[in-house]
Chains A and B, each alone.
Chain A
Amino acid sequence: MRVDVRDLCARIHRTPILTDVSLCIEAGELFGLVGPNGSGKSTLMRCFAGLRRPSAGRILADGADLARMPGRARARRIALVEQQADTTDRLTVREAVELGRVPYLSPLRGWGAADAAAVADALAAVEMTGFATRHWHTLSGGERQRVHIARALAQSPDLLLLDEPTNHLDIRHQLSLMALVRDLPVTRVVALHDLNQAMICDRIGVLHQGRLVAAAPPDEVLDEGVLARVFGVAGTSHLDHDGSRRLCFSHAL
């Protein structure tokens, strides 16, 4: 899905959170959103997901205004993986993933073969098929996050939003989750804290105090100037032996 953001503003209790954000995300792209705490990443993600109405400006999803899209139609095209969504319900993994089919079901239209197939495909895509009958509360943090992604994929979305999906995961699960996200064949927008993880994105957008200060491939954006100005750290960018770029941080400025 091609996403067009035009002069987007958002405010919470009259405090501006996002100011004049304009951005275009191409179909099939892996777009990273980075920025320090409170820079507006989560708010922008919530605007993308339709959970927050912008106070000004528009978001166009393949040319259609998101604000005018009914909830069910939106949920069939845009799926959100929240930071830490937990439940006290005794759900199985399959039941949690089946929630992704809610936008396709109505009170009178029951569960069908297409729904079962979508759930099976989603579980396979995150390599959790063998976990289908496990209970949610027995899963580790990394497994839970994979189930959330499977639930989002079961919505058969054209745009997948992930809000800091690697938060609170150990390093192995962080890397395997980012590898999974990198290979998904759908337009993705990922809010990230770890700048080195953002290096695998096709392009990244840097948010600073509610404004988008850059949107370009990570190699071009994350230089010493941006690290100092936006993130407030002294850091350098190195070329790794495999040709990828690595960031090293020395101290807070």
Chain B
Amino acid sequence: MTMAVGAATVARARGLWLAPLILGLAILAGTAIGETRLPFATVLRTLANHLWDAGYPVDGIEAGIIWSYRLPRAIVAACCGAGLALTGVVLQALLRNPLADPYLMGLSAGASTGAVLVTVAGVGGGAISMSLGALAGALLAFGCVVALARAVSGGAGGGRATQAAAAIILAGIAGSQMFNALTAFTIARSANAEQARGIMFWLMGNLSGIRWEDVASCTLVSLVGVGLCLWHRRGLDAFSFGADSAASLGINVPALRGTLVTATAIMVGVLVSKVGAIGFVGLVVPHAMRFLVGTRHDRLVPASALAGAVFLVAADVISRVIVPGQVLPIGVVTALVGAPAFALILVRGARR
């Protein structure tokens, strides 16, 4: 038994070293592959020039594409993938519902509405940034969903935890429908045809506007998210048998739920304001990782963050190269990959 534990620890330690390597390779691939074919050597030289002043002679335009356009884009894609996967992990654990994800809970829809109200309808008169609008929208949507779920399940009290979890998903569906309608209404009222097309593109997930100034906030929220989830990993584990069971294990359930769900809403708000509402990452990645590494959050949290990051970088690369001369919205790619993957998970889950 000691040997088995030792082997597992060694394997985990090895995995720990592997994680940054895989992530680095994914980001490198995201930087090297794109609509414009660039030699791999140029990519490496450009990176070397910027990272440690190597002083290689490279073409200015190519260097610009690589350093100012592709690299920040790949980093933000990785951060968004990690963040969205984590929000799925958190919501699925806390609500005891395998279908919980920021998309279904209406968080993404609320964030979209907030962002569209600020950019298109001009709410706030330029004083409010799009991120702030999206954040407010996400929090508002979450507040609506929780209030509705409470009204439905009669106070979400005590032993009715399961019923409350079902109610919150139904409330989430109602909430996202309403916020999507609000978004469509705002676009129809205030945007011209060109704007509308741009916004529809953005709503399905679009990384083409990403520059270096977007990297800091995305990196910050996803790193803080990973740290917060790891800090509360045992609390998340304790929810395995429901909220009452967690409470009897000494977990302060309202405080933990409040902290992690607020953090989730902030993450979604920031990420959606940068890249739009990308679906399926939060739903599919945590399920896939549970199959691979189990349900314990000390492994599930880092594994989901890493897998989400790699998945979204890969999806971004595919969205740029699959149709020559055209960039697809990344949400299209994640849904095309995610929906069949999710069906597979459901079927396998039902069969076991």
Same complex = yes
When distances are taken between beta carbons in the complex, the residues of chain A under 8 Å from B249 are 75, 99-100, 102-103, 155
When distances are taken between beta carbons in the complex, the residues of chain A under 8 Å from B159 are 42, 46
Minimum C-beta distance from A242 to chain B (A): 37
B157 touches A87 (CB 8 A): no
A71 touches B234 (CB 8 A): no
| B247 contacts chain A at the CB level, 8 A cutoff | yes
- A107 CA to B247 CA, complexed, in Å: 17
Supply 7 further A-B pairs (C-beta < 8 A) apart from A46-B158, A75-B250, A80-B248: A12-B158, A50-B247, A50-B248, A51-B158, A89-B240, A99-B245, A100-B249
A-B contact pairs, 12 of them (CB 8 A): A46-B158, A51-B247, A80-B244, A82-B244, A85-B245, A87-B242, A88-B96, A89-B290, A102-B238, A102-B250, A103-B250, A105-B234
- The interface of chain B, by Cβ under 8 A from chain A, is 96, 98, 155, 157-159, 230-235, 237-238, 240-242, 244-245, 247-252, 290-291, 294-296, 352
When distances are taken between beta carbons in the complex, the residues of chain B under 8 Å from A105 are 234
When distances are taken between beta carbons in the complex, the residues of chain A under 8 Å from B352 are 137
| Binding stretch for chain B, among A18-26, A90-98, A200-208, A233-241 | A90-98
- The interface of chain A, by Cβ under 8 A from chain B, is 12-13, 42, 46, 49-52, 70-76, 78-80, 82, 85-91, 95-96, 99-100, 102-103, 105-107, 137, 155
Minimum C-beta distance from A113 to chain B (A): 11
Minimum C-beta distance from B349 to chain A (A): 8
A82 and B241 contact, Cβ closer than 8 Å, known pairs A51-B158, A71-B247: yes
Task: Count A/B pairs, Cβ under 8 Å.
Answer: 87
A51 and B237 contact, Cβ closer than 8 Å, known pairs A89-B295, A99-B249, A100-B249: no
A51 and B244 contact, Cβ closer than 8 Å, known pairs A46-B158, A95-B296: yes
The residue among B159, B238, B252 with the most chain A CB atoms within 10 A of its own CB is B159
When distances are taken between beta carbons in the complex, the residues of chain A under 8 Å from B158 are 12, 46, 51-52
The residue among A78, A95, A96 with the most chain B CB atoms within 10 A of its own CB is A95
A91 and B240 contact, Cβ closer than 8 Å, known pairs A107-B231, A107-B232, A107-B234: yes
When distances are taken between beta carbons in the complex, the residues of chain A under 8 Å from B241 are 82, 85-87, 96, 99
Shortest Cβ distance from A148 into B: residue: B241
- A190 CA to B350 CA, complexed, in Å: 35
A49 and B248 contact, Cβ closer than 8 Å, known pairs A90-B294, A137-B352: yes
- A251 CA to B288 CA, complexed, in Å: 55
Shortest Cβ distance from A69 into B: residue: B250
Shortest Cβ distance from A108 into B: residue: B231
When distances are taken between beta carbons in the complex, the residues of chain A under 8 Å from B247 are 49-51, 71
